[in-house]
Structure 1
């Protein structure tokens, strides 16, 4: 009997009652461990002062969303969620213990210990997957929290009637040399600016003037219609192309 054929083994040996209790123990063991990981995630968020995404709700305006009252409300909801998870965990734990007793009573010989080991082996990949998911979520939330630079709102004095967003105030608080990244990338404008910059740092504009002068002749023999770039110009063009591509991602 192993992980792959445990249920078939119990069924073939007329251990139907054992099979039922085996499935029950496995179900409650897995649920208990998964809820334990949920509690660990929530408690880690509370320790690091991280607000999970499911506790981020809309408010009437941006000022409320950035207020201390809003943050305190989120912390209270987080505490309530942790308490609820603990209650659920304790119920599952009792059910798990009860199912273990039932399985032990109906198992002959050393079958109980073998089934216990198989249950752990069967559930282990699922628990590890959940554990990795929790670690990834904590890592992403930590990065997001660290990236939110705290600034002094009093540094910026808004003399206009326009209401500034938190991002705009944070940008202005750092000085006039900073700007916000646009939500929509204007690809045509960026390409045009890059081409104009390339024209300025090379002699392409002078080459273009010679070409236009040749075209004004009656029977022009256009010797300037082919432009051979130097190695440095080709390297510059390649770097500008790569730089332009990064703007789109």
Structure 2
């Protein structure tokens, strides 16, 4: 029995007890009073339930939008060749940087019509660790929340591909998670919030120091990938291939990011 039911029942019982000696007018007044009390109590009860529901509601999850996508742009001649920085990208909003002591030895190869050999960058000719980054011309990436990194890769030997980021203050970090199948081209979907990071020396492309706890990923200047092992050259041995890349993150205008 609810509180309002109990209160109304008490009033009605009191009416029955006094009905024989109570004037008709008083009976009507008491009945009306009971209904008023009942309505007021029910309204208060409903309001309390609504407030409790609001307090207990889970916050709305917001998916990170597509920040950029890159599938590479092969030259008219096709085949294997050095990466031509001005023409290598299919996304006009991006800039490409090759990093590491022998980063310029990264080659482009593959074809957009060959699913067994899609257009990709290949690290086999790098005699040191090497990698590359993308820089959006107008925006920094906010890799907090549900930000994700997707990449299609294939590797040989013990080689693996790791996400790297360059923060707004110039610090470069490399993730603890590495991807790459020696069997086939596979797409990896990485939740950035699950990653741990170490500092990366961009000149030598080696890790330095200990874990970087809680880096500021709300304003990321560049996003890319690195293979921290030297390549073995052509043929099976040791190298990495990176084909299509997607980053899902919120955009932060470079002007506002600089002013913060």
Query: Does the pair score TM above 0.5?
Result: no
Q: Which has the higher contact order (CA 8 A, sep 6+)?
A: 2
Q: Which structure shows the bigger proportion of residues in strand conformation?
A: 2
Using the size of structure 1 for normalisation, the TM-score is: 0.23
Using the size of structure 2 for normalisation, the TM-score is: 0.22
Q: Which structure shows the bigger proportion of residues in helix conformation?
A: 1
